[in-house]
Every structure is written in C-alpha cells, then in structure tokens.
C-alpha cells in the first residue's frame, strides 16, 4: 500500500511517500517532488493549480492512504488560514483514505520508539515521515 505523509507549513505541502507491505515493512520512496506550493491563496487559478498538482501527485504515485499532521486551531502554534485551505483541498481527494494525525501522537511515537530515518529523507520531511509511522505502526 502506498502511503503519503504530509506536513503543511505556511503555503507549502511537504510530502513523504512510503510503500507499506502487509508484513509491516516500510520502504521510503525517494521522489523528485518533495514539496508542492500554493503560490497565491486568493487567486482562483493558483488554487486550482495547487489542487491539480496535489491530485496529480497522488494519482501518479498510486497513493492509497494520506496522513496529514494536524495543526492547532487555536493558540500560539495554530495553523494559518492558507494551510487550512490546503488541508481542505487535500481532503477532497476521493481515491484515498485521509487521516489527520495529532502532534501529540507523533511525539509519543517518537519517544517510545527508536526511529531511524532513511538516509535519503531530507530533514524537513521528518515530521511527514513520522506522521506515517505514528499511525500505521500503532
């Protein structure tokens, strides 16, 4: 099963893709596309471009499950309006199950497990990778 982990930051989507087999083996897939940007959230064409790019990414990579790292709705670390708009567009993807993973679940998983990140994984992809692990390795 192809699983995509996502972290939303500012106006860009950080992507991590893994292959998860029934015998609990997780293989990181190092792709050329690691980020997708929403250039202008107030411009319809820009929003449509983002929507099409993210859907093309999911379709091209046969994504069956999407894990999005949740952002707070209130407080000092709350997510911005743009990232909530991007999250909504991602949730519209009908060919995969979309799951929101809390920061608390990710932190708890990381503390309880000795996580070894793939060498090819970029530092900025770690949270999206952990969102996958914390959900499928419960």
Q: Is the dihedral of CA 113, 116, 22, 18 positive or negative?
A: positive
Assess whether pLDDT exceeds 70 at residue 76: no
**pLDDT by residue (tens digit) across 20-47?**
987 778 999 999 999 999 999 999 999 9
Assess whether pLDDT exceeds 70 at residue 78: no
Domain regions of the chain by residue span: 2-136
What span, in angstroms and rounded, lies between the C-alpha atoms of 36 and 19? 20
The rounded radius of gyration (Å) of the Cα atoms in the chain is 14
What span, in angstroms and rounded, lies between the C-alpha atoms of 39 and 45? 10
Assess whether pLDDT exceeds 60 at residue 77: no
Ramachandran quadrant class, 127 (left: phi over 0; alpha: psi -120 to 50; beta: rest): alpha
**pLDDT by residue (tens digit) across 90-127?**
999 999 999 999 999 999 999 999 999 999 999 999 99
pTM: 0.92
For residue 87, the Cα-to-chain-centroid distance in whole angstroms is: 10
Helix (H, G, I), strand (E, B) or coil at 88: helix
Bridge partner list, 27 = 19
Q: What is residue 74's predicted lDDT score, i.e. its pLDDT?
A: 65
CATH homologous superfamily of 2-136: Ribonuclease H-like superfamily/Ribonuclease H (3.30.420.10)
């Amino acid at each position: 099963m192809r699983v995509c982990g996502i972290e939303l930051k500012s106006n860009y989507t950080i992507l991590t893709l893994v292959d998860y087999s029934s015998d609990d083996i997780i293989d990181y897939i190092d792709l050329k596309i690691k980020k997708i940007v929403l250039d202008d959230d107030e411009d319809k064409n820009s929003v449509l471009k983002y929507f099409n790019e993210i859907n093309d990414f999911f379709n091209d990579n046969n994504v069956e499950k999407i894990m999005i790292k949740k952002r707070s709705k209130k407080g000092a670390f709350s997510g911005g309006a743009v990232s909530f708009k991007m999250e909504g567009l991602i949730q519209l993807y009908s060919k995969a199950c979309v799951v929101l993973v809390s920061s608390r679940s990710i932190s708890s998983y990381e503390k309880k497990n000795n996580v070894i990140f793939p060498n090819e994984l970029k530092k900025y992809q770690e949270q999206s990778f952990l969102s996958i692990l914390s959900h499928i390795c419960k």
